[in-house]
Every structure is written in C-alpha cells, then in structure tokens.
Structure 1
Amino acid sequence: MEKKVLVTGSTGNTGGYAARYLLKAGISVRALVHNLDGRSEELARLGAEIVQGDLSDLNSVAAAMKGISSAFFVFPITRPGIIEATAYFAQAAAENQVGHIVNLSQFGAQRDVRSHGAQNHWIAERVFERYGVPVTQIRPTLFAEWFLYQASMIKSQGKFFLPFGAARFAPIATEDIGRVVAAVLANPAPHAAKSYELFGPMILNMDQIASIFSEQLNREISYVPVDKDTFAGIVQNAMNAGPYFIQHVSSLGQDLNEGRPAGMNDLVETLTGQPPLDMSAFIQKHMQAFA
C-alpha cells in the first residue's frame, strides 16, 4: 500500500507544520479539515488531499482513514470532547488497519492534576494504548505561541501577563513539534509504544523571557504576574475562551508555581536532526506580531 498519512489539525499550527514537512519529504498527505477555507486551499496547492470532516463524527473520521498508513491526532485544548474524539479516532484506525497513530498529548498530562484538560489528555493516551493500534505519544511542554496570544499587549503596553509566578520551563515552538510529528509519521516503526517529552532549548523564567523580548524588540518589555482570576479575564477577552480552557490555564499556572519540574532534553534534535528554535529566533520569526 502506498504510504499516505492522515493529518488532523492541518489548518492549525502543529498539524499544519507536520503536513508541510511531510509534503516536502514527498509523502502523500490527506488533511482532515473542519472547514474549507484559505488555509485548506493553500494545503491543496502544496499537494495535500483535502477531506472535510469532524473528529466528533465517527463516520467522517472512518471515511478519512480509508487507505491510510499512519495518522496524526490532535484535539484543541480550548474545548471539551477529547476523550470521545480519541475513541472515535482509535476505532476508525482499527477498522481501517491503520499501521500507526501519533497522538499530540502534553507534558502536564497526568492522572492526578488540577487541569481537566491535562487529565483528559492522560485518559486519551490510555485509550489509544488499549486499542491495539501502535501509538506514539508526543508530550510537549508549553508552546512558545503562548506569547502570541498576548502580542497586542506586548506591542501596545510593553507587558505580558501570566499566572506563572516564578515558574520555569523551556518554551517550544509548534514548528519544532510539527517536525517531530512528521519524522515519526514518515518512519513510525522505531517509535511504536514510545512517549516523547519535547522541550525548547533553554529553561527560562518569565523575567528572562521578558529580557529576551526587550533585547529583540529594542525596548523595555516586562512580565506582570497575575492571579488566576485576572488571567482568566485576559484570556477570555483575547481568545473568546470558554470555561474549559480557562480552568486548564489557571490550573496549569498553579502547578507551575508549585514547582512542577521544568524538564529538559535534546529529543527534538535527536529525532529530526535540527535543534529547536530558541526564544530569540521565535520572536524574530514573529516580529510583525510583536513589534
């Protein structure tokens, strides 16, 4: 059977990068999209087969799986429904003899965690493992893209607001996660039943990140620590976010403040042959948003 990879979330960040890396490598991609728009048209121009469907609809997922050799699953952390969608995806993969699934989970996915979203990711991992289709769990730390959500405030006020206190972590760009996903999908056998925790190249606290922003933007940028309720209001205004996502972010801030391990490794470079972007390079790539 010709290798054809199903990529969900292909009009978003991680899935979009994964699809493009696979197409660049000459691997056939079927992109499952929720809406047909300019982003899906661009993928089609790059050579992807576009199918419209919904991860919450078993029949549309099963139809998208036909003739697929491996598949990437990602579900938005902004809304509930991941456990049902995971079960549909795993069932559809089993019905169509899909050879491998790559699941985008998160570093905070644990049995005992405050965030409903993170706990649901942990359950989703267990669902995939029990279905019998070989799976690789991708567990990245917080995305560097978090700072794009506050780009307008960085631009207008010279500040960003987070409920992370003195927490430290190694922000990772979604393009680096997408490269890892593409590398695993392109050659999945060595990665079966493995879980990869992914990090950016340097552990930083928020003041250090503010200093990097100041250096790159050539003006003073400061970090303003806020409580979870204040941040909930910011997120709701900036992203029109609902209570599910707000609970996740607020709980994550509490976990980070209480010293959840930051984590560090070189897996991105090991798996893809290219080191991950540091914060300086990330800001440079998105200078139009921040400056």
Structure 2
Amino acid sequence: MAKPFLVTGAAGKTGRYAVRQLLERDAPVRALVHRADARSDELAAAGAEVVVANMLDLAAVSAATRDVTAAYFAYPIIPGLLEATAIFAEAAAESGVGAIVNMSQISARRDAVSNAARQHWLAERVLDWSPVAVTHLRPTFFAEWLISFYQPDGTLQLPFGDGRHAPIAAEDQARVITAILRDPARHAGQVYRLFGAEELNHQQIAAEMSAALGREVRYVPVSLDTFSEQLRDKGFGEHIIQHLRAVAIDYRNGVFAGTNDVVRSIGGSEPMTVREFVTRNKQFYDDRSTIAYW
C-alpha cells in the first residue's frame, strides 16, 4: 500500500485545500489537526486519515510522521514556531520522511522587525540543517484577508497606505503544495515566492471587490495604533498584533509586492484574480456570521 502524504494544519486555509487536492488525485493523506471538530470530520468524510496532535509534542509528531512519503509543514502565527519546527524536523528525519514543503512568509528575513517573520526565517534555517529535503514557500498576503478584514459597513480598514501586492488564494497555494509533494526531488532546496494574478493597491482591490459584490467596497487607511486597537478588540493576541504592525510597514515599503508564474508553472493553473476570489466567496460577504478565517 502506498505511503500517505502528511498535511499539518489540515483544518487551516492551505491545509484543507491540500488535503482535498491530494485525495482528488487518489493519493492517501494523513491529516494532522490540533483538535477534532466539524472541519476534521469533513476531512475524514472525504477520505483522509485524521490524526489529532499537538505540534509541540515530540512523541505525537513522531507518530504522525511514521511511514510518510512527504509532508507539508505549516504552523499558525502563534508562539512556539521554532520549537515546533525543531520537533517536526527531528521527527521527520527519524521517520525517514522523503521531503518537506514548508510554509514560511514573504517577510521572513534575518533582520525582520516582526518577531514572527524573523522566527520564520530561523525556522527555514532549522529545516535546511535537517537531512530531509525541503522546499520553502513564501506567499504574499492571502486573498482570504479580504474576507477576514472586510467590515459590515463595506470597508477595508487597514494601515497599508498606497502599498501593492497580488493577493493569493489558499486554494492556489495548495496547488503548488500538492505539486511539490508529488514530485519533491525537482524542487528540493528551492525557495518560492507565491503571488496571485494581479498586483494592486487597496483602492484597486476595493474596486474589484465592488464589481464582484455589486455594491461599493471602500478602502479606509488607518493608523498602526488604530489597527492594533481594532485587533485587540477582536481578541487577537499580542504576538500576532506585533507581527501585523511590523508587516504593515514592510507592506508600505514594497516587501509584499511582485508577481511571478509559480502558481501556473508548478501548480498547473492560473491563480485567481481578486474579482474571481470574491465572486467565489460571495456568501461570506453576504452573511458575516459565517466568517471563520482567523
């Protein structure tokens, strides 16, 4: 019997799409989730082997990596990334995992002001030291941000000034992830920046959203302090607030800008435009109570 692919963060944005896309190709999948809930039930119903494990538990992660052919590693923006990465690298090496696809971020660098971004850069280095072949992915801001930060009054209130980026959907990222998992040798040692179809500023993004929804969406620039307070009011922790403040400055300075053909050349299809993404996800804008992206 074929060895499974391991997808961590399998109930998250990129993870659940990666699970589905692998299953659609008749590949066996072990889906690692932090807790059992309706999302993990959906993965199991689709045919995945669901494993509930804490990524900071070496024994549990070692069990999850056993008899795995290749693995996708993703960790949320919460404290613990470096420990989780070291645990995963050790478990993967001990278990003989053939390759790892690592979800990093475009702002990952040695001198990043964001603690999380700097930790992602260090996590890349930890995986590079591992004997397991690794491919790093560095996406720009997810298109899903356009749902998470959409306000009931039809505004996007963000501290991004006139900066630009090409929003990339989690589904398109998953196409790259699954393609690399299925042919890892070709991509070993590579670092891929991931972008969506079109680079836009937030005024242009709001115009595309307006066209998709048939009602006005406005971009309202706010200060970093206002943004931070809005995040606190929504229950965000200080780790992610510090990260989002820092990357907002990075964004203004062009760190998140750019385009390339990685989604098409590796993932096999053109990435979604902003208008296509919003049209596909219109129900989230029509019913704000359904939103669960964070």
Q: TM-score with structure 1 length normalisation?
A: 0.96
SS of the residue 1:22 aligns to: helix
Q: Which residue of the partner structure matches residue 4 of structure 1?
A: 4
1:46-195 equivalences in 2 (<5 Å): 46-77=46-77, 79-151=78-150, 153=151, 156-195=152-191
Contact between 1:198 and 1:265, CA under 8 Å: does it hold in 2? yes
Q: Distance in 2 between matches of 1:99 and 1:44?
A: 24
In the aligned structure 1, how far is the partner of 2:44 from the partner of 2:256? 41
Aligned equivalents of 2:11, 2:254: Cα separation in 1: 34
Q: What displacement does 1:257 show? A: 1.6
Q: Give a deviation string over 1:73-126, Cα, whole Å, max 9, x none.
A: 00001x111000000000000111111011000111111111111111000000
Structure 2 unmatched ranges of 5 or more: 287-294
Consecutive unaligned residues in structure 1, runs of 5 or more: none
Is the CA contact 2:138–2:193 (under 8 Å) kept in the aligned structure 1?
yes
For 1:60, give the aligned amino acid.
A
Which consecutive aligned stretches of 4+ in structure 1 deviate over 6 angstroms post-superposition? none
Distance 1:285 1:188, change over 3 A: same
CA contact (8 A) 2:263 2:271 kept: yes
CA distance in 1: counterparts of 2:177 and 2:48, whole angstroms:
17
Spell out, residue by residue over 1:240-274, the C-alpha distance to the aligned partner (whole angstroms, 9 max, x if none).
21001001111011112233361210110001211
For 2:217 and 2:133, how far apart are their aligned partners in 1? 45
Question: Equivalent residue of 1:200, what SS?
Answer: coil
**SS of the counterpart of 2:144?**
helix
Q: Distance in 1 between matches of 2:146 and 2:92?
A: 35
Tell me the SS of whatever aligns to 1:157.
coil
SS state at 1:269 partner: helix
User: Within 5 Å, which residues of 2 pair with 1:9-20?
Assistant: 9-20=9-20
Q: Secondary structure at the match of 1:272?
A: coil
**Quick check: 1:27–1:186 contact (8 Å CA) kept in 2?**
no
Q: Is residue 2:251 matched to residue 1:251?
A: no
**TM-score, normalising length: structure 2:** 0.95
- Deviation, 1:54, is 0.7
> 1:285 Cα shift?
1.1
How many Å apart are 1:19 and its aligned residue?
0.6
CA distance in 2: counterparts of 1:75 and 1:86, whole angstroms: 8
For residues 145 and 237 of structure 1, the distance between their equivalents in structure 2, rounded to whole angstroms, comes to 20
Distance 1:13 1:4 in 2: 20
Count of paired positions: 286
Residue matched to 2:290? none
Q: CA contact under 8 A between 1:82 and 1:121: conserved in structure 2?
A: yes
2:264 to 259, 266, 269: 269
Percent of aligned pairs sharing the same letter: 47
Could you say what secondary structure the match of 2:55 adopts? coil
Distance 1:283 1:3 in 2: 37
* Residue in structure 2 matching 1:206, options 199, 202, 208: 202
